[in-house]
Amino acid sequence: MGKNSGKNKIEWGSKSFELRRSRGSENSPKAIDKDTTMFILMSQEVKDEGNKLFQSKDYEGAMLNYEKAIKLLPRNHIDVSHLRSNMAACYMQLGINEFPRAIHECNLALEVAPKYSKALLKRARCYEALNQLDLALNDVRTVLKLEPNNFMAAEIEGRVKTAIKKKYFCR
């Protein structure tokens, strides 16, 4: 028998993926579970299809794909936060009446990745549109602490500060 190089190949569809197993026993938490890896790969393909639907402005179809992709992933996988953020973008495209749902999706994304600036900015834009200015300002300030040169956060912060001044000083 040959020496185990710690690599495995997985074939899925027309793609072949090489996996590296961590050192240690098969029961090690760092060891790659082939089934989990397969589900992650499947999730990526479903997400890609959702992204195509989003680009073609089929937001409901995109959301269905993102939901399917989420179900294929481990609960705290980083892609869950990206998919939830994508779902928030879909809700935002559907109009201001759907902004509370977009905020909910951002909240779910931030449960997995609390410093995910895209989700924070989407939520801030929703709060701004819903005139929940203090919450919007809080989110953009969080982003600016993490990324001081984030142009979008600075832009939103400026608009929100102006709106707050108008609200409290122009009565």
Question: How does pLDDT run across 13-33, given as a tens digit for each residue?
Answer: 444 444 433 333 344 444 458
Helix axes 117-129, 78-93, angle to 10 degrees: 30
For 30, phi and psi rounded to 5 degrees? -85, -10
Using the structure block, give the residue that is written with the tokens 């990526």: 44
- The model's pTM: 0.80
Question: How does pLDDT run across 79-128, given as a tens digit for each residue?
Answer: 999 999 999 999 999 999 999 999 999 999 999 999 999 999 999 999 99
Question: 134: closest CA among 105, 111, 110, 167?
Answer: 167
